[in-house]
């Protein structure tokens, strides 16, 4: 089998970075994306021992930057077999009546519109080749709304709906489309959500949350199925979590 190429957004941290490591182990060529260049450089240096790595620094919510970045890919990285739409975060955890407009803009612009811009830049190459696999990282928050989660949950419900739409529209082209929806994963997610507040430190205490590697293994499982198998939608929790709001803590 010839070596595949994957583009991963949000590869500088958490689930995206773990997926980059998982894919490198399986010799998948990598296009790693994010805004923190230093981290991209460090990860590239580490993974170049295992596979070919190219990095792209852009903000997924800046549509011009998205298209410029994808268009800048060297010939050897232009054919993208696997797109992992992972970049995203929650910003704030406030009741709707006191929500912050800037937080709302960020969540919709990054989690929803950013995913669309990156997809729009890459899908034509997949439809032309009648081949490809798109994995969108949704969330349990895309299945179930929790108190104060309003806009983040809305953005992830949108990701789940867009994933279904993509699967329907891209079906004639043989392109696989998958949503992976994790519950609580111990990454930098809560540091971003709580903007450096100490509240972030309590989110993953008292139980064993999912680790980024747990999700990355499922992502690799999805991309390594036989040609006729597509995992449409995966909801995964750590054992302690039963729903968005029910987490058994020690
Ligand atoms: P992290 O904060 O650890 O990673 C987020 C990644 O997204 C970083 O690499 C960051 O890179 C990138 N990113 C954020 N904003 C932008 C932007 N505007 N442009 C480009 N890249 C951006 O969080 P996770 O790994 O946990 O999150 C990854 C995905 O998983 C998100 O979509 C999140 O919603 C989802 N998820 C997370 C869960 C959790 O509990 N942690 C559970 C379910 C889903 P950089 O800052 O370098 O740009
Ligand atoms: C991240 C999981 O429960 O913090 O999507 O929203 S949660």
What is the predicted pLDDT for the residue at 50?
A: 98
- The closest-lying atom of ligand 2 relative to the alpha carbon of residue 142 is 5
State if residue 35 touches ligand 1 by the CB under 6 angstroms criterion. yes
DSSP assigned state of 2: P
Q: Is the CB of 189 under 6 A from ligand 1?
A: yes
Q: What's the domain range around 21? A: 5-236
Residue having the nearest C-alpha atom to atom 36 of ligand 1 = 139
pLDDT at position 205 is: 97
Q: Which residues of 217-250 are buried (b: 16+ CB within 10 A; e: fewer)?
A: ebbbebbeeeeeebbebbbebbebbeebeebeee
Q: Which of 11, 12, 15 to mutate to test the pocket of ligand 1 (most atoms within 8 A of CB)?
A: 15
Q: What is the pLDDT along the chain (250 residues), one digit of tens a residue?
A: 479 999 999 999 999 999 999 999 999 999 999 999 999 999 999 999 999 999 999 999 999 999 999 999 999 999 999 999 999 999 999 999 999 999 999 999 999 999 999 999 999 999 999 999 999 999 999 999 999 999 999 999 999 999 999 999 999 999 999 999 999 999 999 999 999 999 999 999 999 999 999 999 999 999 999 999 999 999 999 999 999 999 999 9
Neighbours of 65 (CB within 10 A): 16
Distance CA 22, CA 42 (A): 16
Q: Backbone phi, then psi, for 58, in 5-degree steps? A: -160, 160
Residue 245 in domain: no
Name the closest-CA residue to atom 4, ligand 2: 184
**Residue of 178, 192, 182 whose CA lies nearest to 229:** 178
Query: Could you tell me the distance, in angstroms and rounded to a whole number, from the CA of residue 174 to the centre of ligand 1?
Result: 28
| Ligand 1 lined by 34 (C-beta under 6 Å) | yes
Three-state DSSP class for 57?
strand
The dihedral over CA atoms of 195, 87, 210, 176, expressed in degrees to the nearest 10, equals: 160
Its ipTM equals 0.99
CB 134 within 8 A of CB 178: yes
CATH number, domain with residue 10: 3.40.50.720
Whole-angstrom Cα distance, residue 156 to residue 111? 7
Strand partners, 7: 31, 83
Q: What is d(CA 199, CA 179) in angstroms, rounded to the nearest whole number?
A: 29
Q: Is residue 167 part of a domain?
A: yes
End-to-end CA distance of the chain: 47
At residue 170, the pLDDT reads 98
Integer Cα distance of 177 and 231 in angstroms: 8
169 vs 185: CA distance, rounded Å:
31
* 242 within a domain of the structure (yes/no): no
The answer as to whether 246 is a domain residue is no
Q: What is the pLDDT of residue 176?
A: 98
As for how many domains the chain has, the answer is: 1
């Amino acid at each position: 089998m010839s070596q595949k190429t994957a583009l991963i957004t949000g590869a500088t941290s958490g689930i995206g970075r773990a997926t980059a490591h998982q894919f490198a182990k399986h010799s998948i060529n990598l296009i790693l994306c994010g805004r923190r260049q230093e981290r991209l450089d460090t990860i590239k240096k580490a993974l170049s021992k295992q596979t070919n790595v190219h990095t792209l620094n852009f903000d997924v919510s800046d549509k011009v930057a998205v298209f410029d970045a994808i268009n800048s890919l060297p010939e050897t990285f232009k054919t993208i077999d696997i797109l992992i739409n992972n970049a995203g975060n929650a910003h704030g955890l406030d009741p709707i009546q006191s929500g912050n407009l800037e937080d709302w803009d960020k969540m919709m612009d990054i989690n929803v519109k950013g995913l669309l811009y990156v997809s729009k830049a890459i899908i034509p190459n997949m439809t032309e080749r009648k081949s490809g696999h798109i994995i969108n990282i949704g969330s349990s928050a895309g299945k179930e709304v929790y108190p104060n989660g309003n806009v983040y949950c809305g953005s992830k419900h949108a990701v789940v709906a867009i994933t279904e739409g993509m699967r329907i529209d891209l079906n004639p082209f043989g392109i696989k489309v998958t949503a992976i929806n994790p519950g609580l994963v111990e990454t930098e997610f809560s540091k971003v959500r709580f903007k450096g507040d100490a509240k972030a430190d309590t989110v993953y205490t008292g139980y064993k949350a999912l680790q980024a590697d747990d999700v990355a293994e499922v992502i690799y499982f999805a991309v390594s199925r036989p040609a006729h198998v597509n995992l449409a939608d995966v909801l995964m929790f750590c054992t302690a979590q039963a729903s968005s709001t029910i987490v058994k803590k020690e």
